[in-house]
Protein backbone atom coordinates (compact mmCIF):
# COMPACT_ATOMS: atom_id res chain seq x y z
CA UNK A 1 0.00 0.00 0.00
CA UNK A 2 1.39 3.32 -0.90
CA UNK A 3 0.85 6.81 0.41
CA UNK A 4 0.64 9.97 -1.63
CA UNK A 5 2.74 12.65 0.10
CA UNK A 6 2.41 15.23 -2.57
CA UNK A 7 3.86 15.97 -5.94
CA UNK A 8 7.35 17.30 -6.37
CA UNK A 9 6.21 19.74 -9.01
CA UNK A 10 4.41 21.83 -6.38
CA UNK A 11 1.08 21.36 -8.10
CA UNK A 12 -1.37 20.18 -5.38
CA UNK A 13 -4.41 18.47 -6.76
CA UNK A 14 -7.57 18.06 -4.73
CA UNK A 15 -8.86 14.51 -4.19
CA UNK A 16 -12.59 14.64 -4.80
CA UNK A 17 -13.47 11.00 -4.04
CA UNK A 18 -14.85 9.88 -0.68
CA UNK A 19 -13.34 6.83 0.93
CA UNK A 20 -16.38 4.79 2.07
CA UNK A 21 -14.45 1.86 3.53
CA UNK A 22 -14.36 3.24 7.11
CA UNK A 23 -18.08 4.07 6.90
CA UNK A 24 -18.94 0.52 5.83
CA UNK A 25 -16.73 -0.90 8.59
CA UNK A 26 -18.43 1.20 11.26
CA UNK A 27 -21.89 0.30 9.98
CA UNK A 28 -21.10 -3.43 10.00
CA UNK A 29 -19.78 -3.20 13.57
CA UNK A 30 -22.96 -1.35 14.66
CA UNK A 31 -25.14 -3.93 12.93
CA UNK A 32 -23.37 -6.78 14.74
CA UNK A 33 -23.70 -4.97 18.07
CA UNK A 34 -27.44 -4.43 17.54
CA UNK A 35 -27.97 -8.04 16.47
CA UNK A 36 -26.27 -9.26 19.65
CA UNK A 37 -27.89 -6.84 22.12
CA UNK A 38 -31.53 -6.79 20.88
CA UNK A 39 -32.41 -10.30 22.15
CA UNK A 40 -30.83 -9.45 25.51
CA UNK A 41 -32.75 -6.17 25.85
CA UNK A 42 -36.11 -7.71 24.89
CA UNK A 43 -37.38 -9.15 28.16
CA UNK A 44 -40.77 -10.45 29.07
CA UNK A 45 -42.42 -11.98 32.07
CA UNK A 46 -42.36 -15.76 31.98
CA UNK A 47 -46.01 -16.81 31.68
CA UNK A 48 -47.89 -19.93 30.81
CA UNK A 49 -50.73 -18.68 28.60
CA UNK A 50 -53.99 -20.63 28.44
CA UNK A 51 -54.54 -22.88 25.48
CA UNK A 52 -57.59 -22.51 23.25
CA UNK A 53 -60.29 -25.03 24.07
CA UNK A 54 -63.62 -25.53 22.43
CA UNK A 55 -65.65 -28.02 24.40
CA UNK A 56 -69.04 -29.15 23.28
CA UNK A 57 -71.37 -28.61 26.21
CA UNK A 58 -74.47 -30.60 26.82
CA UNK A 59 -77.35 -28.25 27.51
CA UNK A 60 -79.20 -29.34 30.61
CA UNK A 61 -82.75 -28.19 31.26
CA UNK A 62 -81.77 -26.58 34.56
CA UNK A 63 -79.14 -24.35 32.91
CA UNK A 64 -80.09 -20.72 32.46
CA UNK A 65 -79.61 -19.21 29.02
CA UNK A 66 -79.31 -15.43 28.89
CA UNK A 67 -79.23 -13.72 25.50
CA UNK A 68 -78.01 -10.19 24.83
CA UNK A 69 -79.01 -8.47 21.61
CA UNK A 70 -76.96 -5.92 19.72
CA UNK A 71 -79.17 -3.18 21.22
CA UNK A 72 -78.38 -4.37 24.76
CA UNK A 73 -81.74 -6.04 25.42
CA UNK A 74 -81.52 -8.94 27.87
CA UNK A 75 -83.55 -12.14 27.45
CA UNK A 76 -83.93 -14.98 29.96
CA UNK A 77 -84.47 -17.90 27.57
CA UNK A 78 -87.06 -16.14 25.35
CA UNK A 79 -88.60 -13.80 27.93
CA UNK A 80 -87.47 -10.17 27.90
CA UNK A 81 -85.91 -8.91 31.14
CA UNK A 82 -86.43 -5.14 31.54
CA UNK A 83 -83.14 -4.31 33.31
CA UNK A 84 -80.26 -5.75 35.33
CA UNK A 85 -82.14 -5.27 38.62
CA UNK A 86 -84.91 -7.59 37.45
CA UNK A 87 -82.23 -10.03 36.22
CA UNK A 88 -80.55 -9.85 39.64
CA UNK A 89 -83.84 -10.73 41.39
CA UNK A 90 -84.39 -13.75 39.14
CA UNK A 91 -80.78 -14.94 39.47
CA UNK A 92 -80.86 -14.55 43.26
CA UNK A 93 -83.77 -17.03 43.41
CA UNK A 94 -81.93 -19.71 41.41
CA UNK A 95 -78.52 -19.13 43.03
CA UNK A 96 -79.65 -20.86 46.21
CA UNK A 97 -80.63 -24.07 44.44
CA UNK A 98 -78.48 -27.15 44.99
CA UNK A 99 -76.85 -27.98 42.58
CA UNK A 100 -76.57 -24.45 41.33
CA UNK A 101 -77.46 -24.11 37.63
CA UNK A 102 -74.96 -22.78 35.13
CA UNK A 103 -75.55 -19.51 33.32
CA UNK A 104 -74.91 -19.62 29.58
CA UNK A 105 -74.54 -16.20 27.98
CA UNK A 106 -75.29 -15.76 24.29
CA UNK A 107 -74.11 -12.34 23.19
CA UNK A 108 -74.71 -10.94 19.74
CA UNK A 109 -71.44 -10.32 17.93
CA UNK A 110 -72.40 -6.68 17.50
CA UNK A 111 -73.40 -6.26 21.16
CA UNK A 112 -71.42 -3.74 23.17
CA UNK A 113 -69.02 -5.17 25.71
CA UNK A 114 -70.68 -2.97 28.32
CA UNK A 115 -73.97 -4.87 27.93
CA UNK A 116 -72.31 -8.25 28.35
CA UNK A 117 -70.21 -6.94 31.24
CA UNK A 118 -73.31 -5.77 33.10
CA UNK A 119 -74.85 -9.23 32.81
CA UNK A 120 -71.65 -10.88 34.04
CA UNK A 121 -71.46 -8.46 36.96
CA UNK A 122 -75.11 -9.12 37.83
CA UNK A 123 -74.45 -12.88 37.81
CA UNK A 124 -71.49 -12.42 40.14
CA UNK A 125 -73.52 -10.22 42.51
CA UNK A 126 -76.28 -12.84 42.63
CA UNK A 127 -73.76 -15.51 43.61
CA UNK A 128 -73.70 -17.55 40.41
CA UNK A 129 -70.53 -19.64 40.42
CA UNK A 130 -70.39 -20.89 36.83
CA UNK A 131 -70.81 -18.61 33.81
CA UNK A 132 -70.19 -19.85 30.26
CA UNK A 133 -70.34 -18.21 26.85
CA UNK A 134 -72.04 -19.81 23.88
CA UNK A 135 -70.25 -19.19 20.59
CA UNK A 136 -70.47 -20.47 17.05
CA UNK A 137 -67.66 -22.73 15.93
CA UNK A 138 -65.56 -21.41 13.04
CA UNK A 139 -66.55 -22.54 9.55
CA UNK A 140 -64.76 -25.66 8.44
CA UNK A 141 -62.34 -25.35 5.59
CA UNK A 142 -61.89 -21.60 5.93
Q: Where are the domains positioned within the chain? A: 64-133
What are the CB-based long-range contacts (under 8 Å, 24+) for 71-75? 72/111, 72/112, 72/114, 72/115, 74/115, 74/119
Assess contact for 69 and 79: CB atoms under 8 A. no
pLDDT digits (tens, 9 = 90+) for 95-125: 998 889 999 998 888 889 999 999 999 999 9
How much is the pTM? 0.59
Q: If one looks up domain 64-133 in CATH, what number appears?
A: 3.30.420.270
Amino acid sequence: MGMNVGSSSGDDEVVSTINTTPLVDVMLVLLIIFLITVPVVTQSVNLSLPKETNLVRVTKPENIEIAITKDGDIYWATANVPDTDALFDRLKKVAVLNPQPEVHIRGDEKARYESVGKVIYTCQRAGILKISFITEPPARGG
